[in-house]
Amino acid sequence: MASTALILAGMATSSAFAADYLVGNEAELRSALATQANGDTIILSNDITLTAGGGGNLPEVHSDVTISGGGHTLSGGGDYRGLFVTSGTVRVENLTISNALAQGGTSIYGGGGGAGLGGALFINAGATVTVSDVDLSDNKAKGGEGPTGLVTNQGGPGGGGLVGDGGVELSNAAGDGGGPNGGPSGEGGGSASKSDSYHLGLYGGTNWGAVAFRAGAAYSWSSLSTQRSVAFNGFTDGLSADYDAGTAQVFGELVYKADAGQFELEPFADLAYVSVHTDGSSETGGDAALTSAGSTTDATFTTLGVRGSTDVALGGINATARGRLGWRHAFGDSAPQSTLAFAGGDQFTIAGVPITGDTAIIEAGLDLKMAANAILGLSYSGQFGGGSVDNSARVNLGVKF
């Protein structure tokens, strides 16, 4: 006759049989999820808050398990997601999930930020989750930050925040709503988006001895199309929307050209203004369709720094080494927002990742003259500030005809 074993999470076990895990803290919960097997039951005996020191986001749920809260709360601490179910048939009961955050990745080189998926509970396509006496409170899904840019390096908007995707049976459950917040291209969680953009710019400058002034303006027209799917037991919807957006940019730069022997140094001061307007839109396709109000986000950026370059020879190839150090300050509308509503429902507002107020900028590159009309460029760019770090590398080939 088989018996059910009571095992405290954190204790090693080689048993292949289903087990009950009684967990009273973050470490025990992580251990139970790390060793989960079909038929297991994980029972909370205390409220648990996720922390950076404890490991951040919890391990994925991927087996046929039951998670019983015992009336307790699982908190993301405002920084980490709740339960992330990738496969299996899972039951969640008698549990409050609060202050959880699903954070999308930050964009580099002009693309939109990644989608933030499933703040409290993410359910992957193919997984099934049944919830009973579950309360979801103050949870968020935020899209990743889109890059900021000037005329020569235009950035896309932040990515979307989506509640989740998969088969869900709701039983006496209360939860937070959510929806997409535009992004130029990408897929994930049963959604996709596409953007076609056209750019027009004007640039000019003048010199007064060693002092140079440069200025420019640009406008971009964007046509966006989005598709997303909503699916849970007994309900499916395929939704789409088309809308337009425009981005206006104006910038000015004051530069001093310093003579430092074989090095060219340019201390500089930049001022840039960026305004992004998105038209209102209405999804079509079913009862889960959202209506979005138009929105405008304005931000101003100041940058102080120095850039330099020098000519070098590498194995008989002439090259130019270059770099830039700077400090950028942003002010204005730091967090892009969208106001949405379901048909017949009240409006709600979702926000993207705030623009970092103060950022250190580091760039380094090497331009190799491969032929009289061809240059191979290698470069690194890093931005650091406010708990946000962006690192990127780029390779480009320029050919003159």
Residue 335: the pLDDT is 74
Per the CB < 8 A criterion, the answer to whether 168 and 123 are in contact is yes
Q: Which residues of 95-123 are buried (b: 16+ CB within 10 A; e: fewer)?
A: bbbbbbbbbbebbbeebbbbbbbbbbbbb
Q: Which residues make beta-bridge pairs with 282?
A: 291
User: Residues near 53 by Cβ (< 8 Å), separated by ≥ 6?
Assistant: none
d(CA 249, CA 201): 9
* 32 phi-psi bin (left φ>0, alpha ψ -120 to 50, beta other): alpha
Closest CA to 268 of 134, 346, 363: 363
Residue 221: the pLDDT is 92
Per the CB < 8 A criterion, the answer to whether 346 and 340 are in contact is no
d(CA 168, CA 170): 6
DSSP per residue, 337-395: EEEEEETTS--EEEE-PPPPSEEEEEEEEEEEEEETTEEEEEEEEEEEETTEEEEEEEE
∠ CA 101-102-104, rounded to 5°:
135
* E strands in 257-278: 258-260, 263-278
Residue 125: the pLDDT is 67
Which residues of the chain carry a pLDDT beneath 70?
A: 1-18, 103-119, 125, 141-191, 232-234, 353
Per the CB < 8 A criterion, the answer to whether 105 and 142 are in contact is no
Largest pairwise CA distance in the chain: 94
Closest CA to 210 of 159, 160, 257, 146: 257
Structural tokens at position 272: 């840039």
Q: Which residues make beta-bridge pairs with 306?
A: 267, 325
Three-state SS at 256 = strand
Closest CA to 222 of 273, 181, 279: 279
Say what the pTM is: 0.51
DSSP per residue, 13-66: ----S-EEEEE-SHHHHHHHHHT--TT-EEEESS-EE--TTTTSSPPPB-SS-E
Per the CB < 8 A criterion, the answer to whether 226 and 256 are in contact is no
Residue 254: the pLDDT is 93
Structural tokens at position 142: 């935020």
